[in-house]
Amino acid sequence: MNNEQHRVASFQAAALHLDFMLTGPTLIDGKLYNASMQQNPLQLPAITLEKLTALTESWGMPHYRAKQVIQWRNRGILNPVDMLNIPGELRERLSSSLICEPLKLVQRQCSTDGTRKYLFMLTSGRLKGKMVESVYIPEEKRGTVCISSQVGCVLDCPFCHTGTQNFEGNLSSGEIVAQVLAVKHDLLKEPLAPELNSSVTHVVYMGMGEPLANEEGVHESLSSLTDPDGLKLSKRRITLSTSGLVPQIDRLGEVASVNLAISLHAAENRLRDELVPINRKHPLQELRQCLNRYSLGKQRHITLEYVMLDGINDRPEDIELLAGFVNRDRERVNLISFNTYPGSSYTGSSKQHMNEFAKQLISKGIRATVRRSRGQDIMAACGQLKAERKAENREP
């Protein structure tokens, strides 16, 4: 690069930096940097290598510095002070210009089966001081992080603990990705027993909130999780669970056709209107057509989640209704045991009944599994750690 080119590049990088801090979409090097990015300060967990390079170059630093920072970030190390091979000036610049650690770990609970549950406090922005939860579920060959996408949820499914809590807002992509990074960092510092996995191989959007009601944060977080310069997770290792927002499912299929899980919970409109109220807006017929359209990769399937509630949706007629709804070639049913919580008016079906229900579905040609419940001793259902903390009146 000659001097003139270098001057132009530095100017562009500086302009880009300024634009992040100011307003209005900007075209730089043919790329449009969207307005919302500029309204929120940049967050290290989800920043791209390209943007960080532009920023560090605008600070007069060689471009390999951005790569070094990204390498630390990808290992879950977000505090510039801990990034040992970068100079002090860059550490200071990062701390003052970016939100490096959007989450602070408030509480961690470890189950006897290796499951770890985390309670995080948001450190900046409109949601500063609010809490979200994440869970790490280790298995022999995989390690799954279950992440939250919102603080609370507006959709009010009556059996769901998150639905009973106030909706406070959407998480940014940085706050979503930071959950995965924080779990990675924790596993690096304190790995599990050798027979269990201590790495993050899978991510599921099944924590607090409805991910498709936060399309901006979730789409951006998906591109960050799958970024070859970021966590490099394959789309096949990411599953997004939704209560069934039809237009948003279509859009997800267009931008990032990750594995899809649908909170079905009932296969007739009358009951689903009650259990999953979004059904009143997008009833089963509409959901059916939408699921048939969703593009699946080779050997992938859509999961239909079915939380089993005693006497409510576990009746013999529910087997018939499911048999009439499920697309056997593309979908499988996952029966989930109900995680109870204080104040809940539902009771879960017995283990024995769940197994029998699964058998009946299988006899009708439906692929059905019973989800193994993990972390029972630490109440690993979403929303419970936060509620427990609130009850103790320790929320800052």
Contact positions toward ligand SF4, by CB under 6 A? 153, 155-157, 160, 162-163, 209-210, 243, 263
> Please, what is the minimum distance in Å from the beta carbon of residue 241 to ligand SF4?
7
**Residue 307 interacting entry, from ligand SF4, ligand SAH, none, C-beta within 5 to 8 Å by type:** ligand SAH
Contact residues for ligand SAH, defined by CB under 6 A: 157, 159-161, 206, 210, 241-243, 263, 305, 307, 336, 338-339, 381
Beta carbon nearer to ligand SF4, 210 or 331: 210
Minimum CB distance to ligand SF4, residue 383 (Å)? 8
Q: Give the residue nearest to ligand SF4 (CB).
A: 163
Q: Specify whether the CB–CB gap between 39 and 22 falls below 8 A.
A: no
Q: Where in the chain does DSSP place strands (E)?
A: 26-28, 31-33, 103-110, 116-122, 131-138, 143-146, 150-151, 169-170, 202-205, 238-242, 259-263, 302-308, 331-337, 367-370
- Identity of the residue, 79 or 165, whose beta carbon is nearer to ligand SAH in the bound complex: 165
Give the shortest CB-11-to-ligand SAH separation in angstroms: 45
Residue whose CB is less far from ligand SF4, 22 or 154:
154
- Residues in contact with 146: Cβ distance below 8 Å, sequence separation at least 6, in sequence order: 134, 135, 136, 137, 204, 206, 207, 382
Of the listed 157, 160, 290, 382, which one is catalytic? 382
Residue type, 151: V
Distance of closest approach, residue 343 Cβ to ligand SAH, in angstroms: 11
Question: What distance in Å separates the CA atoms of residue 289 and residue 269, rounded to the nearest whole number?
Answer: 15
152-190: b (≥16 Cβ within 10 Å) or e: bbebebebbbbbbbebbbbbbbbbbbbbbbbbbbbbeee
Q: Which does 218 bind (CB under 5 to 8 A by kind): ligand SF4, ligand SAH, none?
A: none
Distance between CA atoms of residues 188 and 172, nearest Å: 25
Residue 115 site contact among ligand SAH, ligand SF4, none (CB < 5 to 8 Å, cut-off depends on kind): none
* Residue 176 CB, nearest approach to ligand SF4 (Å): 15
| Partner interacting with residue 338 (select from ligand SAH, ligand SF4, none; CB below 5-8 Å by kind) | ligand SAH
Residue number, 71 or 373, with CB nearest to ligand SF4: 373
**Annotated catalytic residue within 133, 175, 220, 305:** 133
Active site residue 110: no
* Among ligand SF4, ligand SAH, none, partner that 287 touches (CB below 5 to 8 angstroms by kind): none
Contact criterion met (CB below 8 Å) for 175 and 184: no
* Among candidate residues 58, 50, 67, the one with its CA nearest the CA of residue 93: 58
Q: Select 224 or 242, whichever has its Cβ closest to ligand SF4.
A: 242
Long-range contacts of 75-78 (CB under 8 A, 24+ apart): 75/184, 75/185, 75/188, 76/181, 76/182, 76/183, 76/184, 76/185, 76/186, 76/188, 77/185, 78/44, 78/45, 78/178, 78/181, 78/185
Catalytic annotation present for 92: no
Nearest approach in angstroms of CB 160 to ligand SAH is 4
Residue whose CB is less far from ligand SF4, 182 or 382:
382
Give catalytic residues, as residue numbers. Answer: 133, 382
